[in-house]
């Protein structure tokens, strides 16, 4: 059995750390402190190897007002920072990379402007560019998870695979921030169809859920993004990394 890389998520809205239920700020947005930079330092102190950032202001209203905070996070920790949300052009990607972000998770651009995405991938490579599949009822959604595409998960996984990417971040939006359990079957489907590495996002409520993800690690799921369960202390943080990542670097 392989290890699973645990990736804490910091969702940023109006300069604060939040957890957004089902990716919809208007539905339920709970604050978890004023300073995302301090939160990044906490997760680093808890032995995080990577931190996942979501810029909801960029994703939903295309505002760049959190960029100074993102730069401070990148300057404050020595681990890679990946970011998703509101990246529509190569120029925007370049600006975010200039802040110190290591990897971008691209969603809408893959659907709306595949030619631009291919150029971005050619320029920065598969280590620094990954793709996202956000799903509601087996249908891919884009633009801050607000627009339905009419495309099935299977078809979209095939499309992303054809780009030559190495990693897909898969989110069951209905479970995101709900702590109702991860959609492991969805992630296994994407891994199987695409032949790519999959990062599971959404639904993990505690140790038992993380153990289920680890049990599926030999089927293409090698990492998990966790948000609300960490912020609400659903398991001892150090134990998470020790157990989940055991065997990861063997």
Identify whether the C-beta of residue 33 lies closer than 8 Å to the C-beta of residue 41. no
Tell me how far apart the alpha carbons of residues 32 and 244 are, in angstroms, rounded to a whole number.
25
Residues marked as catalytic: 11, 134
Contact predicate 153/159, CB 8 Å:
no
In the numeric block, which tokens belong to residue 218? 């030999």
Which residues are CB-contacts of 21 (< 8 A; sequence separation ≥ 6)? 27, 28, 29, 30, 176, 177, 178
Beta bridge partners of 51: 81
- Secondary element (H or E) of residue 88: none
């Amino acid at each position: 059995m392989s290890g699973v890389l645990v990736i804490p998520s910091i969702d940023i809205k109006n300069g604060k750390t939040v957890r957004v239920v089902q990716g919809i700020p208007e539905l339920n947005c709970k604050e978890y402190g004023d300073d995302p930079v301090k939160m990044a330092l906490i997760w680093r102190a808890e032995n995080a190897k990577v931190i996942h950032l979501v810029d909801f202001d960029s994703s939903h209203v295309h505002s760049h007002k959190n960029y100074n905070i993102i730069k401070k996070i990148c300057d404050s920790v020595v681990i890679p920072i990946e970011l998703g949300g509101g990246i529509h052009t190569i120029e925007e990607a370049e600006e975010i990379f200039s802040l110190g972000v290591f990897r971008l998770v691209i969603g809408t651009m893959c659907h709306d402007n595949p030619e631009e995405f291919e150029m971005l991938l050619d320029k920065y490579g598969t280590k620094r560019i990954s793709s996202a599949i956000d799903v509601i009822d087996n249908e891919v959604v884009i633009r801050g998870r607000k627009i339905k595409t009419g495309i099935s998960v299977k078809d979209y996984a095939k499309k992303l695979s054809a780009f030559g990417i190495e990693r897909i971040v898969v989110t069951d939006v209905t479970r995101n921030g709900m702590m109702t359990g991860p959609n492991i079957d969805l992630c296994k489907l994407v891994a199987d169809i695409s032949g790519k590495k999959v990062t599971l996002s959404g639904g993990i409520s505690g140790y038992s859920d993380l153990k289920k993800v680890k049990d599926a690690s030999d089927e293409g799921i090698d990492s998990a993004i966790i948000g609300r369960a960490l912020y609400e202390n659903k398991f001892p943080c150090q134990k998470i990394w020790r157990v989940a990542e055991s065997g990861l670097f063997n």
